[in-house]
Amino acid sequence: MNPNEKRKFSDLELEEIFIDMLTVERGLSLNTRLAYRNDLKEISLFLKSHANSFLTAEERDIRDFISQLHSRGVSAKTIARKISSIKQFFRFLVSENIKSKNPSLNLDRPKGESKIPQVLSESEVSLLLEKSMENSSPGGKRLYCLLEILYATGMRVSELVGLPLSSLGKNFSHIIVSGKGDRERFVPLNDTAKKALEDYLAVRGQFLIKSKKKIPSANVQLKWLFPSSSKNGYITRVRFFQELKRLAIECNLDPKKISPHVLRHSFATHLLERGADLKTIQQLLGHADISTVQIYTRVQNKHLKKMVEKKHPLSAIKVGVGKN
């Protein structure tokens, strides 16, 4: 079971966790983060006035909050922004296994919120992997292993950093991932990822704390595939994200466009482009509903459109040429 599922967070703690993610993983500006924070504080106060909280809120509570915004005469544009904030917040809580059900799932999606996922090209992913592989230090081998597993499996970053050592299959042929709702899924590893894993495991002991007086203890760390001195005993998503940003800069890639989630989107998109079916991608990503992965067809369609515009012989003909 994910350790987050047993912990009871306060609304303020959940706000801070979400804002930290927006800061580190998305690189949002101070003003944008402040807007998110204000939206969350407003709904938190509303829930508290009804003896409720983020952890206990259900769909009817969120709809009651939206209804009172309308009754107060709040503009449609502002309400749309608040709904967007709420949906992203609760989607994040569910993805982190902090909350089992998303109470905002069935809210009407504001216009313009459904964006095509940002992805890297196959050459950009290869550049990141090749550059990472050049670093033969223990930290370099760990980062390369994290990247290879992430791109080979498309797992969520929270699933990746929190992998128990026991999740590894025989001869590292696969990983058993415990995802949302404690649903387990079988994820195969390719030969490159298996080699990266073998090389990392040879230096894994260097990330274990030697002193039992420190927290977490060595016994706690031993459980995890990627142990560290963090409170939970494994490498944090923030630390992984920081290392990924640094690597992007070394590759002369825009660090603002690169994150573990972008690599997850890239994994799915590249599979689709190479002929994988949506059902397979759904199972690998750990989505309960196939409709969730249909957005990747939009990425593929966008890519095809660009290719036609670039490669089609008529694309070079300017509109209007030859008119009388």
Query: What are the 10-residue block averages of pLDDT along the chain, 324 residues in total?
Result: 59 92 80 90 94 93 92 87 92 88 81 64 94 95 96 89 91 83 80 95 86 60 89 89 94 91 88 80 68 56 48 44 43
Residue from 87, 264, 265, 270 carrying the catalytic annotation: 264
Length of the chain: 324
Q: Is residue 274 annotated as part of the catalytic site, yes or no?
A: no
**Domain 122-193+238-302 falls under CATH 1.10.443.10:** yes
Q: Is residue 180 annotated as part of the catalytic site, yes or no?
A: yes
Radius of gyration over alpha carbons of the chain, in Å?
22
Let me know: does 142 contact 148? Beta carbons within 8 Å: no
Domain ranges of the chain: 3-95, 122-193+238-302
Architecture in CATH for domain 3-95: Orthogonal Bundle (1.10)
Closest by CA position to 104, among listed 47, 154, 158: 47
Q: What is the pLDDT of residue 320?
A: 46
Q: Is residue 270 annotated as part of the catalytic site, yes or no?
A: no
Between 30-49 and 76-95, two packed helices, what is the crossing angle to 10 degrees?
90
Residue from 144, 200, 234, 296 carrying the catalytic annotation: 296
Residue from 87, 131, 142, 156 carrying the catalytic annotation: 156
| Residue 128: partners with Cβ closer than 8 Å, 6 or more residues away | 120, 147, 244, 247, 248, 251, 253, 258
Q: What is the pLDDT of residue 295?
A: 58
Largest CA distance in the chain: 86
Q: What is the pLDDT of residue 291?
A: 56
Amino acid symbol at 322:
G
Residue from 204, 261, 265, 270 carrying the catalytic annotation: 261
Residue from 99, 180, 245, 270 carrying the catalytic annotation: 180
Residue from 33, 185, 239, 287 carrying the catalytic annotation: 287
* Backbone torsions φ then ψ of 9, nearest 5 degrees: -95, 145
- Grouping H, G, I as helix, E, B as strand and the rest as coil, residue 257 is helix
Q: Is residue 296 annotated as part of the catalytic site, yes or no?
A: yes
Let me know: does 106 contact 60? Beta carbons within 8 Å: no
Cα distances (Å, whole numbers) of residue 102 to 51, 84, 286: 19, 13, 16
Prediction pTM value = 0.63
Amino acid symbol at 299:
V
